[in-house]
Amino acid sequence: MSMNKNTILGWATLIMIVMGLLLIALGAFRYDDVAGWGFVAVGVGFLANAWVFSSLKGRV
């Protein structure tokens, strides 16, 4: 199976969305102290990166 740049960006976007939501869920439900805020911040960063990847997906 040959994967071109758009397919790779699509998979990377999907993985980053899943990881971002997982990190936000960890921060929201697992940790009640300041560490939870760190997990949520990193999760939001993952979602922002996924947004950039998905907007690049047709231009590379």
The per-residue pLDDT for range 4-15, each reduced to its tens digit, is 888 888 898 999
Whole-structure pTM value: 0.80
Sequence length of the chain is: 60
Provide the CB-side half-sphere exposure for 5 (13 A, CA): 6
Higher pLDDT, residue 56 or 38: 38
3-27: average pLDDT? 90
22-46: average pLDDT? 90
Provide the residue ranges of all domains of the chain, joining segments of one domain with +.
5-56
14-23: average pLDDT? 93
Dist. CA 39–CA 24, nearest whole Å: 6
